Each structure stands twice: as C-alpha cells, then as structure tokens.
Structure 1
Amino acid sequence: MGLSWQQGPLGEHPAGKFLTEVPMPEKLLFAEPLRRRMRVRFAGEWIADSEDVWLLHEPGRYPVAYFPVRDVSQGVLEDTDRTTKHRELGPTAWYTVRSGDKEAGRAAWRYTDPPGYAAEFQDRVAFAWRAMDGFYEEDERVLGHAADMYHRIDIRNTSRTLEVRDGERTVARTESPLVLFESGFAPRWYVPRTDVDEDALTPVEGQTFCPYKGLADYYEIGGVRGAAWSYRDAYTQVAPVSDMVSFEPDKVAVYLDGERLALEPGQAVVPHGIDRGLDAEELSRAGGPAKP
C-alpha cells in the first residue's frame, strides 16, 4: 500500500526489486514535502497549521507528517523525561500535548539532532495520529494516516468467470466481477450481490476500516469467519465496489476462469502501525468539514 507499506517499493517485503548492481540498503527512508496545507485539531482547538509539512516514509509504516515547530501553537508541547533513539534519525524527544484541560502523554515527538542527510527534520514535530482529534488538509478530515501520494486504486470491469464454492455448494458465480487493483496488494475480486447466495453468508461482529475505501463488514461461510467481506457504503472514490462481496481465497474456494486462486503474497492485510491506526469507532469522529 503506497510507497513503504506492505509490498510497496520501500516496504519490508516489496513485490518488485530495484535493478541495481549494488544491493539497496536493508532499510531505506524517503522524505518529501507534502505541498498541502495541513492542520491538527486537539481539544477543540487548532494546535498546528502549516503549509511546510514534510512526510517521512519508513518501511513498514504509513507516512508520517512533520510540522515546523514554529507552526505549532505555543504552550501545546510540554517536555517529558522520555527520550529514545531512532536508528537513522538520532535522538528523539517526546512531548505531552496539552490544550485547555485536555492532555495526551507522549503524543508528539521530535528528532533533536538529526544527521546532515536528514536536515529537513531539524526543528520539526510529529503528532501521534490516534491521540489527536483529527488531521485536516484544508477543511477536509484526513482519516487513517497522512495522505500517501503513491497509493492508488484502479477498478476494472471484466467478463471473466468467478465462482466461489463451499464444498459442493456454489456460494457465488458471476461473469461480471469487478477487479480492484490497489498499491501493494494482489488483485481483489468483487461479486455483485445478485450473483451471491446470501443464505451462505452469515454476518459476524466487528468491522475494519480502510482509509481509502471505508468500513468493511465481514461474513462467515461454512463456519469459517472472515471468508468474505463487503464495503456496504464504500467511499465515493471506490463507489463501483460499494455493497459488492469479495472472498478470501485461503478461507473459501475461489475459482477464476476455472483455476483456483491461492493466497498471493501481499494479499493478507497488515494492521495499522503504532500511532498510525484508526479503528471503526474513531471513524464516527470524522465530523465532516473542519469547524472554525
């Protein structure tokens, strides 16, 4: 997903490879300017507002936004006695974030003496995603993590035959599936509900959240939990798959043009990393446009 997550080029297990005579470093960080105004809201107040945000792409993590200290409200950051050391970026100071009567411990950090090759991070601070009320680009809430400009989703119509079976039972069969191609993932096949035997699907409790597609509901098939899922009300950007059903090929038999699919590398979803997560409950706090 994106540049450094899952099987992205800088991910821990990339799907492709760099064609170089000399091997690439085991861990490669990438930094770039966001080129968008970004704001942070905490305790009902704007505590950071900047057009000079830099993103850090680090293997196995979503991109993290770093704000110039000068663009953070005075008095918001309180020193703590916690310090750590980042292998590539050096000593790291941690802060309590405070605004009014609300505080969040260890909710911000700064590299106090970054090496020369990372001078862009001098006097910049990042905020723990889940500890804040929200992050905004202009007046729109950004969910899940800072925007990854390298993440892309393409949805294509196809006339290939997709069939799903649970033993002798045909759970789904269609000649008009949609295939969703997403950065860092193997293709996902979606079936119209009119081509699904709904009686074979047993809804299960629990949802997951995708910053790009929305909330996913899950189903049990033949006693196997999580064998299928659906974005019942997918985001506008991926509206074609809204309320369609996709099936996990390692939990139920999925055949494409008669050939059984296997769980390909990159197919399994990896949970959000530390400080970069967003659960289904938090989605309800999106709140729409920013308030003054």
Structure 2
Amino acid sequence: MADLEALGKKLTTEGPHKVEGTPRRVRGLLGGKYVFDTTSAKYVWEHAYYPYFYIPKTAFEKGVLEEVGSSAKKSYWLGKLSAGGKITDRVLAFDHAGPLEDLVRIEVSALDGWFVEDEKLLGTHPKDPYKRVECIPSSREIRIEVDGTVLAKSSQNVFLFETMLRPRYYLATTSMNWEFLTESETTSYCPYKGMANYYNVNVKGKEIKDVVWYYRYPTAESALVAGRLCFYNEKVDVFVDGVKEEK
C-alpha cells in the first residue's frame, strides 16, 4: 500500500495536475454488483499524460466502501471495497483536500469492469477527452530494419496519429519478412485501440521482445489498423520514403 500512501501525500501537498468534471455516466462492477453509478465523476490528471476517474463518495452503494487506514492529518485515507464476495484494497479516498475533496480513487484493474455510458473501459485509464486518434491510409514507403536487415517494406500502410505521441505505421502482413518474427504471449490494452497482441524479432542472434504489435479487433475509431502490424519505432530503424527517422 506504500504507493497509495505516497500518491495520497503527493496529491494533498502538491495537488493534481488538473481536475475537470464530466457529464458521462460512469459505473464500476465488483463481484457482479455495481458499487457506484454516477454522472458526477471527475477527470483527475495526477500527472500531465492522461487522466483517471475519481468517484464522489456519495456515489457508492451503502456499505461497500470502508476506511482501513488514514493519514495523520486526516486529509486522505486508504480504503477497501467489498461486494458480491470480492474485496479490493486498492482504494484511496480524500476528505479535506482542495479539488479532490470527498473523491475516491480506485485502481482500474481492481474492479471487474468500468463502464463509461454503455462502453466498457479498456486499458488502465479512461480516454483523455483532449486526445484524438486518426488513422489515415498512406502510400509513402515504410522500410523497417534492424542492424541492416530488412524486416518489412511496404507502400500500402495506415498511419496512426495520436495526440502528443509520435506517428505509428501499420503495415500489411504480406510486407513482413516472417522468418525474423516469432509470436509472443504478451497482450496489452489501449483505451483508444483495444487489445494488442505481439511478436518478437530475432536478427543475427539478437532478440527484441514485443517490438511488433497488432490489433485483431480494434475499437471503431481505430478500425483501419485491424490485422496490420506496427513496429515500435524507438527500437528499430524506420525509413520513410528512404529517409531514416530519428528514434
């Protein structure tokens, strides 16, 4: 619980990066029961990169939220949620803490499911309302190399532009030199794109793990990248129309 204690101290002394209200209906499921259902959740940016949902104390069903430990000044406390025979202690609640007063933070993975309106939340945080994902077909040639070995070459691509991040290039499966790729058991979840699967790359006796990913069933906003493969730009050499991209 030390990380939650540290976060509580940081947020009550330094404050969050930003806090905003949202009219979205937000629900949390634990043990087969909705432990909260609210249209008064707050977006809280604990840092500059993406927000979390913080839930008003008044939104919780009676008896599901319980205090298990408090700070000396009683500005925040550690809690637990219990419902349907399941319990999580990944809970941080605030009392008199400025913009976070009477709000509760629950680790996303600690619940069975989060729902924004009727859409299930994917990944470890909600979508940032100021972030946009744009998928655009492009015939610019993309060539991927590692130590001079060509792993892929394609002029039938989809470029994915995501606010504040570098472009990602999604290539057709037929553009791969498959002899260098081996399937990985890794999966991850993105709020904007869905569940990703991965490949490792093996070149000249060197293995680069999880350097290629793809989405079998992406979200609607990222539908154009379905089945296409994307290399982690920072770990390979990427050439766009023959010009090497900076890592």
- Is the pair's TM-score, using the shorter chain for normalization, greater than 0.5? yes
Residues 146/248 of structure 1: CA separation in 2 closer, same or farther (3 Å cut): closer
- On the 8 A contact 2:122/2:194 being kept in 1, the answer is no
Q: Name which structure has the greater RCO, CA cutoff 8 Å, separation 6+.
A: 1
Local SS of the residue matching 2:75: strand
Distance in 2 (CA, whole Å) between partners of 1:137 and 1:77 is 21
Residues 255/51 of structure 1: CA separation in 2 closer, same or farther (3 Å cut): same
TM-score, scaled to structure 2: 0.82
Aligned to 1:124: 103
Aligned to 2:7: none
Q: Could you report, residue by residue, the CA deviation over 1:18-53 in whole angstroms, capped at 9, with x for unpaired residues?
A: xxxxxxxx9862111111111111111111111111
Alignment map for 1:93-172 (pairs within 5 Å):
93-105=77-89, 107-115=90-98, 118=99, 121-144=100-123, 145-167=125-147, 169-172=149-152
Residues 47/160 of structure 1: CA separation in 2 closer, same or farther (3 Å cut): same
Distance in 1 (CA, whole Å) between partners of 2:117 and 2:211 is 39
Aligned to 1:266: none
Residues 191/44 of structure 1: CA separation in 2 closer, same or farther (3 Å cut): same
Aligned to 1:246: 230
- On the 8 A contact 2:17/2:48 being kept in 1, the answer is no
Gaps of 5+ in 1: 1-25, 264-292
Residues 221/30 of structure 1: CA separation in 2 closer, same or farther (3 Å cut): same
- Residue 182 of structure 1 is aligned with which of 162, 165, 184? 162
Answer with 144-153 or 56-65: which moved more: 56-65
Local SS of the residue matching 1:126: strand
Q: Could you report, residue by residue, the CA deviation over 1:159-184 in whole angstroms, capped at 9, with x for unpaired residues?
A: 21111234554322222222111122
- On the 8 A contact 1:221/1:228 being kept in 2, the answer is no
Residues 237/249 of structure 1: CA separation in 2 closer, same or farther (3 Å cut): closer
Local SS of the residue matching 1:204: strand
- Residue 218 of structure 1 is aligned with which of 199, 202, 206? 199
Distance in 2 (CA, whole Å) between partners of 1:94 and 1:31 is 21
Gaps of 5+ in 2: 1-13
Residues 133/161 of structure 1: CA separation in 2 closer, same or farther (3 Å cut): same
Find out whether 1:232 has 2:216 as its counterpart: yes
Q: Could you report, residue by residue, the CA deviation over 1:128-166 in whole angstroms, capped at 9, with x for unpaired residues?
A: 212111111233211222232112111112221111234
Residues 132/221 of structure 1: CA separation in 2 closer, same or farther (3 Å cut): same
- Residue 69 of structure 1 is aligned with which of 51, 57, 75? 57
Distance in 2 (CA, whole Å) between partners of 1:70 and 1:229 is 41
Residues 258/50 of structure 1: CA separation in 2 closer, same or farther (3 Å cut): same
Q: Could you report, residue by residue, the CA deviation over 1:46-84 in whole angstroms, capped at 9, with x for unpaired residues?
A: 111111111111215641222222221111111212437
Distance in 2 (CA, whole Å) between partners of 1:79 and 1:207 is 34
Identity %: 28
**TM-superposed deviation, 1:109:** 2.3
TM-score, scaled to structure 1: 0.70
Q: Between Structure 1 and Structure 2, which shows a larger proportion of strand residues?
A: 2
- On the 8 A contact 1:84/1:93 being kept in 2, the answer is no
Distance in 2 (CA, whole Å) between partners of 1:170 and 1:214 is 28
- On the 8 A contact 2:82/2:88 being kept in 1, the answer is yes
Q: CA RMSD in A?
A: 2.4
Aligned length: 229
Q: Between Structure 1 and Structure 2, which shows a larger proportion of helix residues?
A: 2
**TM-superposed deviation, 1:199:** 2.4
Local SS of the residue matching 1:239: helix
Q: Could you report, residue by residue, the CA deviation over 1:174-211 in whole angstroms, capped at 9, with x for unpaired residues?
A: 22222111122111112111222222322233222222
Residues 60/140 of structure 1: CA separation in 2 closer, same or farther (3 Å cut): same
